[in-house]
Amino acid sequence: MRMTGAEILINCLLEQGVDTIFGFPGGAVLNIYDALYKYQDKIRHILTSHEQGAAHAADGYARASGKVGVCLATSGPGATNLVTGIATAYMDSIPMVAITGNVASNLLGKDSFQEVDITGITMPITKHNFVVRNVNDLADIVRKAFKIAKEGRPGPVLIDIPKDITAQVTDYEPKEKEEPAKCTKTIRDEDVEKALELINESKKPIIYAGGGVCSSEASEELLELAEKLNSPVTLSLMGMGAFPATHDLYTGMVGMHGTKTSNLAVTQCDLLIAIGARFSDRVISRLDRFAPNAKILHIDIDEAEVNKNVIAEHHIIGDAKEVLKRLNKGIVTKDRSQWLRFIKDLKQKYPLQYSGNGLSPQYILNKIYELTNGNAIIATEVGQHQIWTAQYYKFTKPRLFISSGGLGTMGFGLGASIGASIARPSKKVFNIAGDGSFRMNLNELATAVEYNVPVIVVIMNNHALGMVRQWQNMFYDGRYSQTTLDRCTDFVKLAEAFGAVGFNLTEESQVESTLKEAMSLGRPVVINCEIDRDLKVWPMVPPGAALEEVIVGESDIGN
């Protein structure tokens, strides 16, 4: 059948199972938006307040659902406004397809109005990107983009379409969606056997799991491995939910803000089994003293990650779910009671604990967990509140924690929470924010209100850029350069101005009733929580220190 390029694009999106697009129109994508108008009964478009919000919403949609998120922007500034969102998805291996319009083909490279080389700009932050130069190639490019976004290590793909391509007419033949194959060809029997030797010989193993376990839907296999092995489990920030935080074998997060139990366990173990994790600098801290007594077994889908930051004794390349299935068949259950007693003693000696004056963010997070039975989707912005969330909300399943881990994108959470709520409308969705991060993209409240997306924004308002202030306090002799936010913004009135509901919290006695009311409304809500400006995130490994030198509170400083 004969169709315009714009109509072919929409039909290819429908082939891929796309039901929602997040975007913002402009001149270069007018033909695409005209096609969306014709197909509005089949594909939903969410008009965000800003293209960055569209990218973050597509990202949150993907993280919550496991599907490919889709965002759409016009040329020039519309396209560049997607860049931070694309980079965020790239760093965290999130499948996303970003579609941008561009000036007509004959105007490319001539500094035309609203022209930018978006494929050149995004080359380092996409798995692949395309410029469509022939309308006859458009359908296959769209299909390839979705396959690339999902196969292997997931990530974002960009398709740039000049305006004339969207207007040209050609033949379109529908095709069945091609599901990307699981990455199993690289899993060799001899590698599995060698890994089993290391595992079965170990006396003090620890499992370090990351976001790859969530991406591959391998949490059940991870649980089976841990229980068969009698091994403690620690998670990266991106791994939250890969292993239930309520399980006796869970030791908490590892790294700069990991528990002392996890950090000491990694330091003392004789085998570190890393699964779907990339050994980021926030995890390893001081490299020459990271897991000094351990052999490292690295299981990852991306061979480029192996031996990049730490040297592994052995590795297996492939899909984590399939690797763990094969390993679990060969695990020999051994008595590791002495190692587990050591871990239990550490957990009792160094529990996560908090203190401070007035309203406590940890109390609020524990109350959200209690009232939602741990089944809510929790998105975050970036800062102290993000780490408190990872520490104190007990994630028991994957795809419930949505946060910018690798890039650390302030302003991520609101758009991402909107996307997550649209992906999974039966779930309660919270965005845990700091006042600094929230200000960056608070305009997306208008999006939440327009589409009645019932996200609950909880602002841990310390009137400061809290994490940066903490560093200034600890390492810059209290010189608080540009981190104090004594602004006159009334977040309750702001919420009401957007058409949302606003609450103000100053005491712990208000928390439960306010949360219950917010959850009952079925509308966007902003809860401003006035917390102490000088609250800190503990534990913390100082820069240049080893994991075992983790500080658990003010009393440790200087010791």
Q: What is the percentage of the chain residues whose pLDDT exceeds 70?
A: 99
Query: Which pLDDT belongs to residue 357?
Result: 74
Q: Kindly indicate the confidence band of residue 179, based on its pLDDT and cuts at 50, 70 and 90.
A: confident
Query: Which pLDDT belongs to residue 95?
Result: 98
Q: Kindly indicate the confidence band of residue 559, based on its pLDDT and cuts at 50, 70 and 90.
A: low
Q: Kindly indicate the confidence band of residue 537, based on its pLDDT and cuts at 50, 70 and 90.
A: very high
Rounded Cα–Cα distance for residues 110 and 107 (Å): 6
* CATH placement of domain 2-171: 3.40.50.970
Query: Which pLDDT belongs to residue 554?
Result: 75
> How far apart are the two ends of the chain, measured CA to CA in Å?
75
Which residue in 67, 127, 163, 428 is the catalytic one? 163
CATH topology of 189-349 equal to that of 361-538? yes
Residue of 366, 324, 402, 325 lying closest to 511 (CA atoms): 366
Please confirm, yes or no, whether 444 is among the known catalytic residues: no
What does the pLDDT average to over 247-275?
98
For residue range 1-27, list pLDDT tens digits in order.
999 999 999 999 999 999 999 999 999
Q: Kindly indicate the confidence band of residue 178, based on its pLDDT and cuts at 50, 70 and 90.
A: confident
What does the pLDDT average to over 152-172?
98
Checking if the pLDDT of 558 tops 60, the result is: no
For residue range 259-269, list pLDDT tens digits in order.
999 999 999 99
What does the pLDDT average to over 227-254?
98
Which residue in 38, 40, 113, 508 is the catalytic one? 113
Query: Which pLDDT belongs to residue 107?
Result: 83
Q: Are the beta carbons of 35 and 6 closer than 8 angstroms?
A: yes
Q: Kindly indicate the confidence band of residue 110, based on its pLDDT and cuts at 50, 70 and 90.
A: confident
Query: Which pLDDT belongs to residue 180?
Result: 86
What does the pLDDT average to over 510-518?
98
* pTM of the entire predicted model: 0.96
For residue range 413-463, list pLDDT tens digits in order.
999 999 999 999 999 999 999 999 999 999 999 999 999 999 999 999 999
What does the pLDDT average to over 359-382?
97
Checking if the pLDDT of 530 tops 60, the result is: yes
Superfamily designation of domain 189-349 = TPP-binding domain (3.40.50.1220)
Rounded Cα–Cα distance for residues 522 and 427 (Å): 11
Which residue in 3, 22, 24, 51 is the catalytic one? 51
Please confirm, yes or no, whether 467 is among the known catalytic residues: yes
Question: Vertex 163, ends 160 and 166: CA angle to 5°?
Answer: 90
Q: Are the beta carbons of 94 and 156 closer than 8 angstroms?
A: yes
Which residues on adjacent β-strands are paired with residue 2? 171
What are the distances in angstroms from CA 528 to CA 102, 366, 428, 447? Answer: 41, 17, 18, 19
Domain boundaries, the chain: 2-171, 189-349, 361-538
For residue range 44-85, list pLDDT tens digits in order.
999 999 999 999 999 999 999 999 999 999 999 999 999 999
Please confirm, yes or no, whether 114 is among the known catalytic residues: yes
Please confirm, yes or no, whether 51 is among the known catalytic residues: yes
Which residue in 256, 460, 467, 540 is the catalytic one? 467
Checking if the pLDDT of 378 tops 60, the result is: yes
Which residue in 114, 227, 394, 519 is the catalytic one? 114
Q: Which fold has domain 361-538?
A: Rossmann fold (3.40.50)
Please confirm, yes or no, whether 147 is among the known catalytic residues: no
Q: At what angle do helices 337-349 and 260-268 cross, to 10 degrees?
A: 150
- Per DSSP, helices labelled H in 303-400 are 320-330, 337-349, 361-372, 384-392
